[in-house]
Structure 1
């Protein structure tokens, strides 16, 4: 199977979108919730840029669902449709395409700024407002409600869960000026959340939280302490996933669920590190495979070792070089990718639309 990612605004108002998509993919993974983004729409007949200024739920905002909750979803004021995802999904399904609901959970700068106590904090006391920490019960409750509302009363063929875990230091923010500033080891340490809830978890595990923070800052944490810190993060991730899965399965029973994940247990971000219990909970893993290198194929191989079907996440947008993409897709399939997910159906101009079709053909030929 080959799928392609898209936003509701790519579909709505463009009667040619479904036909273009069907030339490359059989499934559209369509954003039902998404973080803030400034997105190109180079082929849309009536616009060229969408400025989605904050993380939004692209479904109706039901007051009853959010009553009494400190963290609440917001609808997109840059769209006029009452149900952007539902309308776009119906349009695509009517054209013969399958639709997966793409749900982004803990990536929300608006809420991190409004409720800073729920955001990830590094060992220097610096908050990452784009990253909601799953150690907080209110964050887990928000994510579960968001996920359930995303698929409430709408027909979908699959569900794709992104950022169902902790985000860390690396973030593609506005005018980001941090690329290359730290080693991989430093990124790992600066991605450890030191918020009050995470510190409480360390204390419960027998650690002295101030000593852990000091060790993180100095880069001198012992392996035993790091193992306990990671176990605490994984426990919070598992709790988040459990609540989210319960909510989506109540609204969409029997619909297969794909989990964005990274085989590196320390990974943070849209594809959080795999925990030992993930394989028993979901139907497939989506693994980041944007770099056209052997490292992406190795991630696929490691993910396939879980026994779950692996969906390799491939971009056809720059900086991916067009000549490298077909061979990259074939290499990922050989490494064990059962499916290929292509990014992105709406962001690319005519040359990248052609590359979408080439990449899809490479996946089919190797399958």
Structure 2
């Protein structure tokens, strides 16, 4: 199966959109039912070319009786039932509709409820990141899934950000690149120490994380800049932080550099879902100025003897949320397939949450394939190894810059992903892509068939 990703506003108000999408050669459309703030190009729409989406929104009617403490916002830039209108139009041309559901990435709810957001070891809040250790966040995600299935009635459910978001976040006028934090620093800054998470870590974890981030000896080699891979949400380059309008591709996670996509050593160490071990208190933070002779090469190195317990806690957080939502989905719509945006790296945060042990109750596991092809294929292979019989692996394929609008080059990538285990291609993004890029996607799919 091939799936094209679109926003509701790409279809609502554009009578030509359904046929245009069907002509790509896809069987299904991943239609955003819940999505975060963005600024999107709309190169095909007859009524506009740029759409400003100032806050996260739910694209089905918000029924007050369906929600608890956290209530999603309705959009003002399109109709409140945009998902339903777009879904009907897409089905009319024979396309399946998969509900693309963004869960814990929601800045408007994070600002309204600062007690439920991720906080780093310095107690800095991340308003874009709802922490799944909060019962209110889990309750919100559960209600979100149920509403989409009961009201939207999709042909499949796609869960994105099904775990904690982290430090990296492509914000308007982001100003973080100059700190020279490494990729490991980004992972450490993604560890949550909110009131629910902090007590779950071994004693001394917060102090060790703070020391690891702040302690860079004078004789250390210059650190590698923090790469997109640290958390999947991208910190922009210095050029990107100038006061200028962002490009369409800047409205989503940046594609990583080849250096950024090297597998960290942590990916070879599978975390077990278990509570922190009891026993003697672990070693405290390294002494200032003596912690290391160069930037840490992995999260495990930075955390030392605390790493296994911290990793297990992080993995259990994503696992618990994922299993809760799968159970909710199966109760609401037993026959609707479930796709998970996943990363086998146990330290992963962001849109593709940590899934180092597999998820037997999901139908499809989709890996991000926006970076160095060698690393992309490695990630796909690892997900395939985690699959149970009958489970499928999908490749989330970037059709936007910096990928070329070249059908032969795109087809070559698709073949490599298929050889690595992908049996589905999830094409990002059929609404943002120019006519030339859509044509390249269509031709690439034909070349590999």
Deviation (angstroms), 1:292: 4.8
Cα contact 2:339–2:362 (8 A) shared by 1: yes
Structure 1 counterpart of 2:8:
8
Q: Distance in 1 between matches of 2:48 and 2:149?
A: 28
Identify the residue that residue 404 of structure 2 maps to in structure 1.
321
Query: Residue 302 of structure 1: CA displacement?
Result: 0.9
TM, length-normalised to structure 1? 0.92
Q: 92, 112, 115: which one pairs with 1:114?
A: 112
Higher helix proportion: 1
* Change over 3 Å in CA distance of 1:17–1:176 after alignment to 2: same
Match of 2:136 among 135, 138, 149: 138
**In 1, distance between residues paired with 2:174 and 2:134?**
27
Match runs of 1:12-51 below 5 Å: 12-24=12-24, 25-51=26-52
TM-score (norm 2): 0.76
CA contact (8 A) 1:141 1:243 kept: no
Cα distance in 2 between the residues matched to 1:179 and 1:312 = 29
1:280 alignment counterpart: 360
Task: State the alpha-carbon separation in 2 of the partners of residues 224 and 158 from structure 1.
Answer: 42
Q: Does structure 1 conserve the Cα–Cα contact (< 8 Å) formed by 2:366 and 2:396?
A: yes
Structure 2: stretches of 5+ with no match in the other structure: 216-285, 287-301
Partner of 2:435: 350
Structure 2 CA distance for aligned equivalents of residues 184 and 4 of structure 1: 31
| Structure 1, gaps ≥5 residues long | none
* Match status 1:268 vs 2:268: no
Q: In the TM superposition, what is the alpha-carbon distance from 1:28 to its structure 2 partner?
A: 0.3
Give RMSD over aligned pairs: 1.8
Shift of 1:216: 4.8
Q: How does 1:253-264 map to 2 (within 5 A)?
A: 253-264=334-345
1:20–1:179 Cα change, 3 Å: farther
Residue 351 of structure 2 aligns to a residue whose secondary structure is coil
Pairs within 5 Å for 1:159-238 = 159-179=157-177, 181-202=180-201, 206-208=202-204, 210-217=206-213, 221-238=302-319
C-alpha deviation, 1:293, in angstroms:
2.2
Alpha-carbon contact 1:135-1:198 (below 8 Å) kept: yes
CA contact 1:124–1:217 (8 Å) conserved in 2: no
Matched, 1:306 2:386: yes
| Residue aligning to 1:291 | 371
State the 4+ residue runs in structure 1 displaced beyond 6 angstroms.
Answer: none
Q: Secondary structure at the match of 2:164?
A: coil
**1:59-92, Cα deviation, whole Å (9 max, x unpaired):** 11111111xx221111112223x42111111111
Contact 2:33–2:83 under 8 Å retained in 1: yes
- CA offsets per residue over residues 97-156 of structure 1, 9 Å max, x none? 111000000000111111112111111222111011111111111111112112223332
Find out whether 1:244 has 2:325 as its counterpart.
yes
Deviation of 1:250 after TM superposition, in Å, equals: 2.7
Provide the rounded CA distance (Å) in 1 between the counterparts of 2:51 and 2:205. Answer: 43
Aligned-pair CA distance for 1:209: 5.2
Indicate the SS of the match to 1:134: coil
Whether contact under 8 Å (2:120, 2:192) holds in the other structure is: yes
Aligned in 2, Cα 1:328/1:178: closer, same or farther, shift over 3 Å?
Answer: farther
In the TM superposition, residue 296 of structure 1 has moved relative to its aligned partner by 0.8
Kept after mapping to 2: 8 A contact 1:123/1:217? no
Q: For residue 327 of structure 1, give the secondary structure of its aligned residue in structure 2.
A: helix
How far residue 251 of structure 1 moved from its aligned partner, in angstroms, is 2.6
